[in-house]
A and B are shown apart, each in its own frame.
Chain A
Amino acid sequence: MKKLKKVDVVIVGMGWTGGLIAQELSGKGLKVVGLERGAMRVPEKDFVIPFVRDELKFQQRRELQQNLARETITFRNKSNERALPMRNLGSFLPGEGLGGAGLHWNGMSFRNTHADHELRSVISNRYGKKRIPSDMDLRDWPQTYSELETHYSEFEQLCGVSGKAGNIKGNIQPGGNPFEAPRSKDYPLPPLESSLSNDLFNKASRSLGYNPYPLPAANCSKPYKNQYGDVFGQCQYCGHCELFACESNAKASPNITVLKRPLSDKDFELKTHSWVTRLKKGKGSNRIEGVYYTNMQSGEEYFQPAETVFLCAWTLNNVHLLLNSGIGAAYDPKTGDGLVGKNYCYQVMAGARLFFEKKELNTFMGAGALGSVVDNFNSENFDHSQLSFLGGGFIANLSMGARPISSHPVPPGTPKYGTEWKKAVQKWYNRNTLLIIHGSNYPSRLNYLSLDPTYKNVFGQKLLRMTFNFTDNDRNMMEFLQIRLKKIIKEMNPTHTAGPKKLSNNYNIVPYQSTHNTGGAIMGTSPADSVVNKYCQSWDHPNLFILGASAFPQNTGYNPTLPLGALSYYVAKGVKEKYLKKPGALI
């Protein structure tokens, strides 16, 4: 093991959160090292036409995601089951390599609602304190929406989000989302061009009295230059977005934005193929002394001492590193003691495929975040007083682009192979569209992350163990949302429909659902019930910051990246204005 020279800052993981922190700390004369377990990824070299459109490689073989031969998680639905390894990727797809999942995300870029940031208070005020079940640990975020508003704007500007504002400084904007919390300014770019299926969805949901609006997209509707001078191209609606990198520089990624500043800073050093295995706690002090990492190409192990450590390795990896380093007490669902691994949440999803005999939908044209959304049944946008659940979700029509291997759906009852199957594929390939429900997931005492007693990663360390299942709250919510979804479907009047399926009794780790895993190192106002404070600073170790959706106390009905981007800016501001001047506990 080689001990390296001490640096000011070490950042673990170079995706959205790590990249953003690296940007904010660059150009200040600080010696910063960024450690990324995966490969270097340079869009203009690695992702060009035609190779960037390789569906077999990027979609079927998951080229840009975590290689599970080295490390995976184990999973079980309940504490009394034996957790078994997730041997192949499925339900969620952790990124690996420079840019993390930010390189190949879709770019759906929602702000949380006002209520999402003060959830416990809002629900208690509306329905009484007793309404929140005792095993549902709902929280207010330690920051209100208003405190984060400028940072939401900052992140939207950074990414060139294309959308239609619904509420500018309290003025409701026609065509936007009327439930939106007030924003200080409009989106940086107008919405993407809608698809025909989006139009059909809009018409149907409007006739039901809902308020559809264009899905906010970090896919640029026009050429764009952000506040740092990063240049974006126009979205080509190429239909190769989710799971793919963008050759037009139209999809915001860390690689074409935040990482540019540190990479041109002489004081910043990026080390790829550098896998952090452990953080070192100081003996007899509350400091983290640095991190151990292994160079995955030489096999050499290093210790990198640092004044300050930023853990930016994505939700599950953040929690895994804390547990494997013995930082904080692990949560125990039996006693309720311990905090690391607590409040692990996911996303509750459903989908329906609609087939239209007489419509040419040009399904192969699309963008990762091209869609139309109804938010009438999300968050606290509707009255829950007579309902058997809390939470909600958005309903959307998505035009993400139908790539031929992964998207040739056929109506229910079609044989799985043979001429009849082929006939149906030919007929329906260009005549179908997807509607989804994207639902919140509130904490359950029984859902948590811990270390697995049996299975090991390539370094011989214990794997992270996930114990997770859907709850009655999730099932009741999904039933309610599906009734609304079915109304929209009926109004759209398709020739055939497949789905939505009832929420399964057991969460299944095999089919892809979303990479919106949250919690496990949650933020709060007191060390008694949270792992980090509002600056994502560890209560136990003030020179350790833990960023990302691992800090979310519960998961909303929205995708996580805009909120975690805003939160990262908020943290960076606190670090720059307070911590760097006087290193130590900020609260």
Chain B
Amino acid sequence: MDLKSFFNRRELFKLIGLTGLTSILLSPRSSFSEEKPAAESVEMGFVFFTAEEVAFIKSYVDILIPADEFSPSASSCGVANFIDRQLSGSFGVASRTYLQGPFYNGSPSQGYQKPFTPSEIYRKSIHQINEYCQRKYKLPFDMIGVKNQQRVVDRVHSNRLLKNSELLMDFSKLILQNTKEGFFADPVYFGNKNKVSWKMIGYPGVLALYSQAIKKFKGKKYSAPVYSIEDID
């Protein structure tokens, strides 16, 4: 029985705690196949970012999470696609945020007090950073080379790129948060392709039935096939 048809029988799951099923599922030597058959890879389209912004965002997230001995770069893991889809959806328009005025500057303990949504912050910030790069390097951010990109990113994240820019300060927090979200989220959200980040840190994924393992593997390294939502659904 393959994993997919097994889990489609959802009723079984409600009984898990009461039956011996858990121990079968928990065996790290499980015979379920871990990977889906490799689909033909098709370049995924963008829905929020313009072509210029795509170029920016790909090179920016690759400075935050570069290709190295630990993982491929953020953009090749799909993080730019992740951010694009987040910004085009409810997160991007801050659908669960209280956005009524009046707007005042508050104290730090009162939290975010501006009327801008994440998608607005991205759009404006990308524009400003690209303008800066045009002034300084006569090229947009994605064309200035990794070394200069590194410098610009470091300046954005220490708030030294444009004088006291509250916008870029918010942007730096937001893009760092979203890049890490994309890198570590379930691949069903388009980032973390092939579960690279989960394999990198040793997170065994979403099956997560450890009632036996918690004792058996105490103090020992646990290794088991890594399952994502798509592997099971």
- A-side interface residues toward B, CB under 8 Å? 44, 48-51, 53-56, 60-62, 67-69, 71-72, 75-77, 81-82, 84-90, 193, 195-196, 199, 220, 223, 231-240, 247-250, 359-360, 362, 364-365, 402-405, 408, 416-419, 422-423, 425-426, 429-430, 454-456, 504, 506-510
Contacts and interface: CB of A to CB of B under 8 A. Distances in A.
Interface stretch (B49-57, B162-170, B213-221): B213-221
Interface stretch (B31-39, B129-137, B182-190): B182-190
A254 B102 CA distance: 39
Counting chain A CB atoms within 10 Å of each CB, the highest count among B65, B113, B186 belongs to B186
A51 B229 contact: yes
Given A49-B232, A426-B200, A233 B215 contact: no
Contacts of B221: 360, 430
Interface string B1-44: 00000010010011111100010000000000000000000000
Nearest to A454: B102
Contacts of B208: 53, 236, 238-240, 364
A236 B22 CA distance: 8
Counting chain A CB atoms within 10 Å of each CB, the highest count among B102, B113, B209 belongs to B209
Contacts of A60: 181, 185
Contacts of A68: 96-98
A432 to B, nearest CB: 11
B48 interface: no
Counting chain A CB atoms within 10 Å of each CB, the highest count among B18, B104, B200, B219 belongs to B18
Interface in B164-210: 176, 179-181, 184-186, 188-189, 197-198, 200-204, 206-210
A77 B106 CA distance: 11
A404 B96 contact: no
A20 B112 CA distance: 37
A506 B213 CA distance: 43
Contact of A50 (B66, B197, B215, B227): B227
A220 B17 CA distance: 10
Interface string B217-233: 11111100001110111
Interface string B91-119: 10001111110101011111111000000
A365 B63 contact: no
B148 interface: no
B74 to A, nearest CB: 10
Contacts of A235: 17, 211
Contact of A75 (B64, B110, B198): B110
A512 to B, nearest CB: 12
Contact of A87 (B95, B111, B179): B111
Given A82-B104, A237-B211, A359 B219 contact: yes
A158 B181 CA distance: 37
Q: How large is the interface on B (under 10, 10 to 19, 20 to 34, 35 or more residues)?
A: 35 or more
Contacts of B10: 48
Contact of A56 (B95, B107, B181): B181
Interface of B: 7, 10, 13-18, 22, 63-66, 68, 70-71, 90-91, 95-100, 102, 104, 106-113, 153, 157, 176, 179-181, 184-186, 188-189, 197-198, 200-204, 206-211, 213-215, 217-222, 227-229, 231-233
Contact of A360 (B91, B102, B204, B220): B220
Contact of B68 (A87, A365, A422): A422
B70 to A, nearest CB: 5
Given A364-B204, A405-B180, A429-B201, A417 B68 contact: no
Contacts of B207: 49-50
B199 to A, nearest CB: 10
Contact of B109 (A51, A55, A506): A506
Please give me the 7 A-B residue pairs with the lowest Cβ-Cβ distance, nearest first: A233-B17, A53-B206, A234-B17, A238-B208, A429-B201, A404-B184, A508-B109
A405 B181 contact: yes
Contacts of A456: 100
Contacts of A248: 13, 16-17
16 contacts: A54-B188, A54-B229, A60-B185, A84-B111, A85-B98, A85-B100, A196-B218, A237-B213, A364-B202, A404-B197, A418-B65, A426-B200, A456-B100, A504-B109, A509-B111, A510-B108
Given A364-B208, A418-B64, A430-B202, A50 B102 contact: no
Contacts of B91: 61
A77 B203 CA distance: 40
Contact of A84 (B22, B110, B220): B110
Given A223-B18, A232-B17, A417-B64, 8 more contacts: A51-B229, A53-B186, A233-B17, A237-B214, A359-B219, A365-B222, A402-B203, A405-B181
B142 to A, nearest CB: 18
Contacts of A504: 109
A319 B197 CA distance: 45
A223 B15 CA distance: 10
A88 B118 CA distance: 12
A54 B186 contact: yes
Nearest to A71: B98
A223 B214 contact: no
B98 A69 contact: yes
B70 A50 contact: no
A235 B210 CA distance: 9
Contact of B113 (A49, A87, A416): A87
A88 B100 CA distance: 12
Contacts of A508: 108-109, 111
A362 B217 CA distance: 8
Nearest to B68: A419
B143 to A, nearest CB: 21
A441 B222 CA distance: 40
Given A49-B207, A249-B17, A405-B184, A426 B229 contact: no
A417 B176 contact: yes
A125 B220 CA distance: 52
A69 B107 contact: no
B185 A55 contact: yes
Given A56-B185, A87-B99, A233 B220 contact: no
A50 B63 contact: no
Contact of B215 (A67, A86, A193, A359): A193
B179 to A, nearest CB: 8
A474 to B, nearest CB: 15
Contacts of B107: 77, 81, 506
Nearest to B221: A360
A364 B13 contact: no
Given A49-B207, A69-B99, A430-B201, A231 B111 contact: no
Nearest to A425: B201
